[in-house]
Amino acid sequence: MVKLDILSDPICPWCYIGKANLDAALIDFPLHPFTIEWHPFQLNPDMPPEGMDRRAYLEAKFGGKDGAVTAYKPVVDKAEAAGIEINFDKIARTPNTIDTHRLIHWAGIEQRQTFVVDLLFKAYFVEGRDISDQEVLADVADAAEMDATLVTRLLATDEDTTDIRARDAHSREMGISAVPTFIVANQHAVPGAQDPATWRNVISEIMEQIAAQD
């Protein structure tokens, strides 16, 4: 098997699109060689714990409504091409994502990581839910067949918070500055929301290399 490490943030629309494109390629390779692991990278590591009003966030980041509309036009177009739904009008707040990354980490221990990532993207981009809300995260855990009661207890503590921040910082020190970033076999970084055709080529090449070694 080949390790595919994915650095992502559940509030990053390009990460949502990037995953959809990867999934579209993987459908064509039911025996693909990847073992996938998700890693934390906060788009807004300095976001207040309570998050902030999304309109205020967008105006601060893009210099007003017009700037936000211009910035998100490619996102809307690529999401449509990827066949995924994004309802920006439903998103009232931009959350701090430290707890979502803790949940993704715990999901990995139970081999449910990708399932939880899917549910977080849907909760945020489709349903407009506040994924920093611990009740929402407990709902996600329950939907992923995790122990929601245990997750709720863990979220009430600082369990693994320091580790998540350290892993995020380490990625930045290694030169990662944007997500999604896909790292293939601990060697090759594939940045951005690559289209399915690119992934099909990558997977085909890897499978050919594996076959040649047998």
Report the chain's terminal Cα–Cα distance, integer Å. Answer: 13
In the chain, domain spans: 2-213
Kindly give the confidence (pLDDT) of every residue in the chain, 214 residues in length, as a single tens digit, with 9 standing for 90 and above: 999 999 999 999 999 999 999 999 999 999 999 999 999 999 999 999 999 999 899 888 888 778 888 888 999 999 999 999 999 999 999 999 999 999 999 999 999 999 999 999 999 999 999 999 999 999 999 999 999 999 999 999 999 999 999 999 999 999 999 999 999 999 999 999 999 999 999 999 999 998 898 7
Residues 17 and 79: beta-carbon distance below 8 Å? yes
How high is the pLDDT of residue 24? 97
pTM of the shown model: 0.95
How high is the pLDDT of residue 10? 98
Pairing of strands 52-53, 93-94: antiparallel
Residue 40 burial by CB count (10 A; 0-12/13-18/19+): exposed, middle or buried?
Answer: buried
Phi, psi at 158, each rounded to 5°: -100, 15
How high is the pLDDT of residue 8? 98
Q: Which residue has the tokens 């959350």?
A: 95
How high is the pLDDT of residue 64? 77
How high is the pLDDT of residue 20? 98
Report the CATH superfamily, name and number, of domain 2-213: Glutaredoxin (3.40.30.10)
